[in-house]
Amino acid sequence: MKRETDLARLIRDQASELRIENPDAPPDDMQAIAAIVGDARVVGLGEPTHGTREVVQLRRRITSHLVQNLGFRLVGIEADWSGCLAINDFVVDGVGSPEAALAGQGYWMWQTDEMLGFITWLRDHNAGLPRTKRVQLFGFDAGRADSTTHVLSTRLERLSAPAELCKSGSFDAIRAMNPWSPPDNGDADRVEKQIADIKTWLADRRHEQAIHATSTDRWQAMQCAIVLEQINSRRTAPTPTSHYAIRDRAMAMNVERHLDDAGKTAKTVIWAHNGHITRDSLMLDDNSIATMGRNLSARYQAGYLPIGFTIGYGRFLAYTGTETRSPKLKAVEIDPPPTDSLDYSLMTDKDASAVLLDLRTCGEPLRGWLSSPLVTRWAGAGFTTASDMETPIVPTAGYDALISVKRSTPAHLLPSAGHCD
């Protein structure tokens, strides 16, 4: 295949153009998305960085189309579960301010004008609907023990839990857990036993008659206990790759639990990094590690549909600096990708700001090329150099479709997220 001619022509012939700039643009370009989604119950929308404005804008357009036209009523984001309860209260019932709700979940990547616009749209959409048909938003990560412990203690109080489960000071060790820091000797075992006791009590249906409690209180209390159990497992992981596997399995479990609670026909869109929604784990140099996407694919089979994103060049927000105790959030800039990379090849349409490629329908020789190891560029919360972003993936093994955003610009931070250089 002549790389600069045949490959570019094949991609251009099979890709569909997507509009970015206006979230409320006419939805005709979304028909290609709807055709790809089909009957899927779980649609994963990835991201190559946490701080690209155009990715959030496209996620919003795609998600709103799936909500309005394909019956999706759950939206999950890669954020702490307990920290997203206030966001859901705003989205479903209009409780509180959206800015405060976004600030409360704690992660800068969700404290942006783009995310504010999205949850405001969700609230406006929900306002005219019966409560049972309103879209809900949930976090599926297990990261903040402090806020999760607070929610758990309030729910146990409503459920009239026995004093030995929630006496003063009994949650200190649980509240202090950090998923990224190993525990003190013996601390993990004590926490595990305490959480197990709480789960056992919550599972006993004889305690359902608390005067001020609801079924939601019990469900949320159990979810808190599960999340805290997941945080405890993360901090005891022996290696970085096992930590990745534990975290991704936890995120998949939390998505599954929300879907199970919503019913057999419920559908969800989940927003997470490319490295989590993918079915493949080549980027970890250990394909035995199960990503969130692989776990969800095992549960839902063809009902799980991951869509990865790439960017060409431009700027995005990320932490910089080698000192982990004092990272700086900056708008970093990258040049166009290497000419032999996946990202470069997807930028073949000079006029389109974004294109969508259905990997399942690509014919040969394009499919053969997409089924081989190719280089893409990813950044998590941190950034060092553009070359360090280079990540090997097999596109068809990880995703059902790819969206290429030609030019990245930084997400717009809300004042609550702090200063960006």
Query: pLDDT (tens digit, 9 = 90+) per residue, 29-74?
Result: 999 999 999 999 999 999 999 999 999 999 999 999 999 999 999 9
Query: pLDDT (tens digit, 9 = 90+) per residue, 126-135?
Result: 998 999 999 9
Please give the backbone phi and psi of residue 100, each rounded to the nearest 5 degrees, phi first: -65, -35
Residue 323 in this model has a pLDDT that exceeds 60: no
Helices in 96-239 by DSSP H: which ranges? 98-104, 113-127, 145-158, 163-166, 172-175, 187-203, 215-235
Residues above pLDDT 70, as percent of the chain: 94
Structure tokens at 363: 């014919």
Chain-centroid distance, C-alpha 121: 19
Q: What is the pLDDT of residue 308?
A: 98
Residue 325 banded pLDDT, cuts 50, 70, 90 = low
Structure tokens at 259: 């879907």
Query: pLDDT (tens digit, 9 = 90+) per residue, 372-391?
Result: 999 999 998 899 999 999 99
* Residue 282 to residue 373: CA distance in whole angstroms: 9
Peptide bond between residue 365 and the one before it cis (omega within 30 degrees of 0): yes
Helix (H, G, I), strand (E, B) or coil at 262: helix
Residue 1 banded pLDDT, cuts 50, 70, 90 = very low
**Domains defined along the chain, listed by start:** 3-141+247-417 (3.40.1660.10), 145-235 (no CATH)
Residues in the chain: 421
Please give the backbone phi and psi of residue 42, each rounded to the nearest 5 degrees, phi first: -130, 115
Please give the backbone phi and psi of residue 52, each rounded to the nearest 5 degrees, phi first: -105, 120
Residue 2 in this model has a pLDDT that exceeds 70: no
Query: pLDDT (tens digit, 9 = 90+) per residue, 334-354?
Result: 999 999 999 999 987 667 899
Q: What is the average pLDDT across 112-133?
A: 96
The residue among 415, 413, 418 whose CA lies nearest residue 328 is: 418
Q: Convert 157-196 to b/e letters by CB count within 10 Å (16 or more is b).
A: ebbebeeebbeeeebebbbebebeeebeeebbeebeebbe
The pTM (predicted TM-score) of the whole model is 0.95
Residue 310 banded pLDDT, cuts 50, 70, 90 = very high
* Residue 356 to residue 362: CA distance in whole angstroms: 12
Query: pLDDT (tens digit, 9 = 90+) per residue, 215-228?
Result: 899 999 999 999 99
Q: What is the average pLDDT across 407-421?
A: 85
120-124 contacts, C-beta under 8 A, 24 or more apart: 121/23, 121/60, 121/64, 122/67, 122/75, 122/91, 123/90, 123/91, 123/94, 123/98
* Residue 74 to residue 136: CA distance in whole angstroms: 5
